[in-house]
Structure 1
């Protein structure tokens, strides 16, 4: 695949690959300021005060998703059925590795071995993950708002996060680590050890500590897929399948802390 040429279009490419991620991250940071200012965890509080994530995350998903769609033609996706299917299989494998520790936590005497809330258990991902996203805390279970909250949650995780993160981590940052001055001259999937370590470790660092091990393994698999396939579309497919299975597992196993 030819490299993305460096030209006066550099700014346009930067917007397409980095802009959606920047907006997505901006909403995450905004939430940190809004929660102490507007949040009120009280039975008499309005739903939008009790759990700000129930409306900030949908706005985040729609805003970042719109930018992905708006700038989609500037991106070299290199879609193919072959590599999309391989990416889907890689996503299932990667998320299986991510989920394995929490399944082991249900079957092993973790507290007896390491003690309560130990750093060793956290580092290994051995946590039951029973606390996390639960719209039933603010909406009537089974009601329209409850269902919509889950629809938007899956839309955010499976569609928006898959595109936004792969555009940034593999589409931009990998290139930047190969050539700081002219990243857009670097073909997608160009291998360098600096690109691998920086991209994978930073991807790992934006997750919770209990997810570090799973994120490192998953990030490594995604890097390999990017290098072998030279297809950004394949890594998006991998991410989408992984997040879909993560959401299904969170609901099926009653582990809302997974997502």
Structure 2
């Protein structure tokens, strides 16, 4: 059953003036948490090049997740698409299944040509032993914080903004083929496993468009990341982190 949200059923608006800003306030509160996340990736890369020890760099992830979570909390009341968690049982089941399927594909689509670069991953071992606090923070961040931050940016904002800078006026089921393809490709190449990223981006985008509810791709994304975290720890495949 398709869930419809009347908040998106808005009448057509007048053309946006040529001197209007590229991003409005609604856009910025979806961009900033994502930008903060990317900033820490840059900080980590620069620090590594400057010779900062890997064991010190491990703590950048908790700091990154803390900052992103803080920004999400500050803007939470303005994310109207997250105001209530409401998914019909059938919708939740589809999202859960999609999350599992994406996880299986993620660890399978790893041939050499499907990978960009040589990711070092996130190794939570200290003196050869797993630091379970770091593991807990990593899995919690990946399964609880990252899905919300990324789905707000990629699906709620960017996929609709490509079609209309007044992106909130675009109904979730109506993004154009152009916006779908652009978003999926960019999401894919955000990851070292670019093909797996494209598959994941397509799955999450289709869930959003089909269910018209951002919680659907968030749930699927959370399942994928949570399962991936458990699998990484069990197998020691740190490069997948």
Please report the TM-score for the alignment, with normalisation by the length of structure 2: 0.82
Q: Do the aligned partners of residues 30 and 193 (structure 1) sit closer, same or farther apart at CA in structure 2, a change above 3 Å counting?
A: same
In structure 1, the partner of 2:96 is 88
Listed one character per residue, the Cα deviations across residues 207-239 of structure 1 (whole Å, up to 9, x for unaligned) are 11xx11211111111111111001111111111
Task: Choose from 214, 228, 250 the match for 2:210.
Answer: 228
Which of the two has greater helix per residue?
Answer: 1
After TM superposition, the structure 1 stretch with the greater mean CA deviation from structure 2, 15-24 or 225-234, is 15-24
Alignment partners' CA distance in 2, 1:130 and 1:72: 32
User: What is the aligned counterpart of 2:184 among 200, 203, 218?
Assistant: 200
Give 1:135's match in structure 2, choosing from 115, 121, 124: 124
How far apart, in 2, do the equivalents of 1:190 and 1:79 lie?
22
From the superposition, tell whether residues 52 and 206 of structure 1 become closer, same or farther in structure 2 (CA, over 3 Å): farther
Partner of 1:123: 113
1:175-254 pair list within 5 angstroms: 175-179=160-164, 181-208=165-192, 211-254=193-236
The alpha-carbon distance between structure 1 residues 85 and 18, as it changes in their structure 2 partners (threshold 3 A), is: farther
Would you say the 8 A contact 1:16–1:71 is kept in 2? yes
The answer on 1:79 being equivalent to 2:85 is yes
Report how far residue 246 of structure 1 moved. 0.7
Corresponding residue for residue 59 of structure 1: 63
Q: Which runs of 5+ in 1 are unaligned?
A: 40-48, 103-120
Tell me whether 1:157 sits opposite 2:157 in the alignment: no
TM-score, reference length from structure 1: 0.77
Contact 1:64 1:160 in 2 (8 A): yes
1:3 corresponds to: 8
Deviation at 1:88, TM superposition (A): 1.7
Q: Provide Cα deviations, 1:66-122, integer angstroms capped at 9, x if missing partner.
A: 1112211211126323233321221111111112245xxxxxxxxxxxxxxxxxx42
Q: Indicate the structure (1 or 2) with the bigger Cα radius of gyration.
A: 1
User: In the alignment, what sits opposite 1:31?
Assistant: 44
Structure 2, unmatched stretches of 5+, are: 17-22
What is the aligned partner in structure 1 of residue 106 from structure 2?
A: 98
SS at match of 2:59: helix
C-alpha distance in 2 between matches for 1:255 and 1:50: 17
